[in-house]
Amino acid sequence: MPSGVPKGENCEVDMDSKAGDLFAAEDAHPTGTGGAGVLSKLWLPKGFSASMAKEWIDKRRLSIRPWASFVDQRKFSKPRNFGDACQRVVKNVEIYNSNYTFIFLGLILYCIISSPMLLIALAVFVGAFYIIHLKSQESRLVVLGKQLNVPHQMGLAGALSLPVFWLAGAGAAVFWVLGATLFVIGTHAIFRELEGSDMEELLMESV
């Protein structure tokens, strides 16, 4: 009795065609950069891409100052006065901005890794944003007569995950990261002596 299910070679052909539909479809990539089937579902928000993030990190890495010089204790001293301290802060922030950025990112990473609940809260936020964004691609999401764009979707995901962030003590974590960053960067910028070339440049700017 016929069951309506293809058998033999016909089944293989159908499966191949389905697989082709699943993993082909280069035009279906939401970012417009190509991709294939299921892999193209691994989107990033419009205006942002993994290549942009990599390019930003590469630029930071190229402009980073040597860490050995960054922490060289021989080049630390007490500023002569308040004006000298201000000059050091302004110039050192300009010189070591990439180093300070990686310190800030490192403190954020440490805070996240050391707090399992914060990891769960971030996973909830990313999951909610992912689902909302996929739904918005399948059909328009309209709230109060307004279509949700990417910032609105992130805001909605944040609102949905807010209780989890509250339970995880995210507010305290944010203040800790900001406080630790200001303390580490501020201390380094105040007590790190300026190089001779930097002092000459500073004197030329003042003239």
* Cα–Cα distance, 74 to 59 (Å, whole number): 29
> Can you read off the two tokens belonging to residue 79?
């500023």
pLDDT per position as a tens digit, 51-94: 777 777 788 778 888 999 899 999 999 999 999 999 999 999 99
For 155, how many CA atoms within 13 A lie in the half-sphere containing its CB? 6
Domain ranges of the chain: 79-202
Quote the pLDDT of residue 156. 78
Q: What is the pTM for the complete model shown?
A: 0.60
Predicted local confidence at residue 140, as pLDDT:
66
Reply yes or no on whether the pLDDT at 202 is more than 90: no
What is the tens place of the pLDDT at every residue in 183-200? 999 999 999 988 765 555
Average pLDDT over residues 7-20: 45
Residues 110, 97, 63: CA angle, nearest 5 degrees: 105
